[in-house]
Structure 1
Amino acid sequence: MRITNATPADLDLLLTFRKEAAGWISKLGSDQWSRPYPANRLLATIEAGTVFMLRDGECTAGTITLTPEAEEGLWSAEELDEPSMFINKLTVARGYAGRNLGGVLLDWAGDRAYRAGAKWLRLDAWTTNTRLQRYYLDQGFQHVRTVLEGSAVNGGPRVSGWLAQRPTRPAEHDLSDETPAPEPLRA
């Protein structure tokens, strides 16, 4: 399998991935991703070069977003002073479930973050999705805290404020990485 940057041509596929994931998550009892994601926001992240695709021949097996930008209001000033990269929108196509591709993508992201000079790979997960939280703990992340207030979108309760991190590190994986080398983080 190979990992590539997403292109604007991947937008519809990524939106479909999200709908597919939301349907699966709903069957597990979570309301995560129940609201459609704005296509223009997703396109902006694609154009920023922060969305990556896991390709299996002509099929797309998964996707991950990796960015040096933290969502506002989640991490403390002291934490933001530490070089970090942030993951979100990790999604594996249901036809590829059960193969630990999410873990492979997390390892790839941790390696890429390490090569960019980050100390931490961080994420925020759905506050009520305990299965997802357990998944990240099983992937070596440590829970930092849960932020329940201060949604940047509507000022109401935050739905994605379960914060976790793990140290970045070089990783061995079988992916053919077709992405450009990561840019060093700004000090």
Structure 2
Amino acid sequence: MRITLAQPDDLSALLNFREEAAGWLSELGTDQWSRPYPADRLAATIEAGTVFMLRDGTATAGTITLTTEAEEGLWSEEELRAPSLFINKLTVARTHAGQDLGGRLLDWASDRAFRSSLWWLRLDAWTTNEALHRYYLRHGFQYVRTVVGGDAVNGGPRVSGWLAQRPAERAAHGFEDETPAPPWAPDMHGE
């Protein structure tokens, strides 16, 4: 399997991917991702080069979004002084479930962060999805805190404020990495 940057023509597949994940999550009893994600916001993240696709031949097996920009209101000023890579929208296709591809994508992100001289791999998870919290804890993340204040971007209470982090470190993920080095680490792929 290989990891590539998402391209503009991946937009509809990513939207369908998210809808599939929302249906699966609903079956598990959580309302995570029940609101449709705005296509223009997803297109902007693709254009920014922060969305990565896990490809299994011609099929999309998973996706992850990585950025060095933290969502406003989640992390303290002190925490933000530590160079970090933030994970968003980690999703694995139901056709590829049960292979720990999500865990391997987390390892790939950790390795990418480490090779970029970043200290932390951080995320915010759906506040009420306790199964997801346990998943991240099993994959080496440590709980930091839960932010429950308002969400200025979407209006209303924050729904994704469970914060966790793990140190960035080298990790064997087993994927073929076809992505360019990030702008903050231009020589990252050099050994």
TM-score range, shorter chain: over 0.9
CA distance in 2, matches of 1:152, 1:117: 31
Residue 150 of structure 2 corresponds to residue 150 of structure 1: yes
Unaligned runs of at least 5 residues, structure 2:
186-191
In the other structure, the counterpart of 2:173 is 173
Paired residues of 1:115 and 1:184 also in contact (CA < 8 A):
no
Is the deviation greater in 170-179 or in 133-142?
170-179
C-alpha deviation, 1:172, in angstroms: 1.1
Residue 159 of structure 2 corresponds to residue 159 of structure 1: yes
CA distance in 2, matches of 1:29, 1:147: 22
Give secondary structure in 2 for the equivalent of 1:30: coil
CA distance in 2, matches of 1:152, 1:114: 31
Amino acid corresponding to residue 100 of structure 1 in structure 2 = D
Amino acid corresponding to residue 139 of structure 1 in structure 2 = H
Paired residues of 1:115 and 1:182 also in contact (CA < 8 A):
no
In the other structure, the counterpart of 2:47 is 47
Residue 153 of structure 2 corresponds to residue 139 of structure 1: no
Paired residues of 1:116 and 1:183 also in contact (CA < 8 A):
no
CA distance in 1, matches of 2:41, 2:74: 19
C-alpha deviation, 1:26, in angstroms: 0.2
In the other structure, the counterpart of 2:20 is 20
Percent identity for Structure 1 against Structure 2: 74
CA distance in 2, matches of 1:24, 1:96: 13
C-alpha deviation, 1:155, in angstroms: 4.3
In the other structure, the counterpart of 1:3 is 3
Query: How big is the alpha-carbon RMSD for the aligned residues of Structure 1 and Structure 2?
Result: 0.9
C-alpha deviation, 1:154, in angstroms: 4.3
C-alpha deviation, 1:114, in angstroms: 1.1
TM-score by length of 1: 0.97
CA distance in 2, matches of 1:19, 1:13: 10
CA distance in 2, matches of 1:116, 1:6: 20
